[in-house]
Amino acid sequence: MSGYLAVLVVVLIFVVIFQIAKASEYVSILKGEKKSRQQSNKVNGFLMIVFLVVGLIGVYYCNELLKGKIGVESASVQGEGIDSMIKWTLVITGIVFVITQILLFWFAFKYQEKEGQKAFYFPHNNKLELIWTVIPAITLTILVAFGLRHWFRLTSDAPKDAMIVEVTGKQFNWLVRYPGKDGQLGRKFFKNINEANNPLGQDWDDQLNKDDFMATEIHLVVNKPVKFIIGSRDVIHDVGLSAFRMKMDAVPGIPTTLWVTPKFTTKEMKEKTDNPDYVYELSCDQMCGKGHYSMKANIVVETQEEFDAWAAKQKAQFDVAHESATPAPAAAPAADSTQKAVAKN
């Protein structure tokens, strides 16, 4: 009942406002204010044209001022195609934006209220409807086709020589695992998860797990494809690799993949950006809880030699887990000084 009453109140308020507006219009006509309104419309129409010209100049000026200053080129080979697609999307939509805005403000000026002029109304025009329906549909279909082409490439099978990195999200950090010398990741089972020594739930009976190691940051080799195997331990996260123009959802229980080829080492990017503190970053691009802001991980892109030296220093998670699970040897009992003194006597 309260719902119907609320609807009724809203309808009554609308009717009252409508009647007040009509009454105000009639009063204005009786008082001879029609010419004043027309003059006001003429001023507003002129201001529309001024706003159009100033706005378009401002858009052009901002584009020239900020050209090349927002972001840097893609740091991955695959990201070049993404940048190209975004560029053409902006070009096409930018042309449409300029045309429609010019028409919008020009019509507001040209077809303002004038004495003896009435608006022409026609309910149907096949030619116009074909133009504004078919052309946008074809254009958007082409753009979507290019987007799907890039998507299928990124999620297709990675090259055989690609390195493998597993990234697992959990509230609120990333767990990174590398395969050892065998190049294969071992099995996981969620019931094996132990925050102290087995955060991924690795199956220690699987021989492939014996040389897998975990890291606090991601190390990649420049100009070498890398396949990311992405997952989540709790809620939906999102692996965001903005410098590489990539992102992929991390879904609980459903592994997702994508692969990229880094183009520049971290050192080269520091030079390109003229920023000695520059770092590649993996961020969570999906709101995942109150600690979402802290879900970041650094990425280091380096040469193959540098990567091999870093990997050689890493300790297998199997060894880490079993070291922490093995109790420390008991300390030898301290000798009794009184007994030593008696023995000497």
Query: pLDDT tens, 151-207?
Result: 898 888 999 889 999 999 999 999 999 998 888 999 999 889 988 889 999 999 999
What would the pLDDT profile of 210-220 be if each residue is shown by its tens digit? 999 999 999 99
| Weakest-pLDDT range from 114-123, 127-136, 231-240, 255-264 | 114-123
In terms of pLDDT, which residue wins out, 123 or 22?
123
Instruction: Tell me the mean pLDDT in the region 33-42.
Output: 72
Structure tokens that stand for 235 in this block: 């809620």
pLDDT(3) > 70: no
C-alpha distance from residue 249 to each of 8, 165, 207, 271 (Å)? 46, 15, 29, 31
Question: Residue 329: its pLDDT value, please?
Answer: 53
- Alpha-carbon torsion 9, 15, 16, 17, what sign? positive
Distance (Å) of CA 73 to CA 81, 129, 174, 234: 11, 40, 26, 34
The reported pTM is 0.73
Q: Tell me how far apart the 2 most distant CA atoms of the chain are, in Å.
A: 134
Q: How far apart are CA 345 and CA 343, in angstroms?
A: 5
Which residues partner with 310 through β-bridges?
A: none
Q: Name which residue leads in pLDDT, 344 or 121.
A: 121
Mean pLDDT of 91-113: 87
Q: Length of the chain, please?
A: 345
**Domain extents in the chain:** 74-113+126-154, 163-324
Torsion sign (Cα): 39, 40, 41, 46? positive
On the question of pLDDT at 326 being above 60, the answer is no
Lowest mean pLDDT of 41-50, 76-85, 218-227, name the range: 41-50
Residues 6+ apart with CB under 8 A from 301: 75, 219, 220, 221, 222, 262, 264, 265, 266, 269, 280
pLDDT at 339: 47
pLDDT at site 340: 45
336 or 230, greater pLDDT: 230
List, in order, residues 6 or more apart from 44 with CB less than 8 Å away.
Answer: 108, 112
Helix (H) / strand (E) element for 54: namely helix 34-66
Residue 230 in this model has a pLDDT that exceeds 90: yes
Domain 163-324 = CATH 2.60.40.420: yes
Asked whether the CA dihedral 43, 47, 50, 52 is positive or negative, the reply is negative
Q: Residue 241 pLDDT > 80, yes or no?
A: yes
Q: Please compute, for residue 237, the number of CA atoms within 13 A of its CA located in the half-sphere on the CB side.
A: 31
pLDDT, residue 252, reads 92
Residue 10 clears pLDDT 70, i.e. is over it: yes
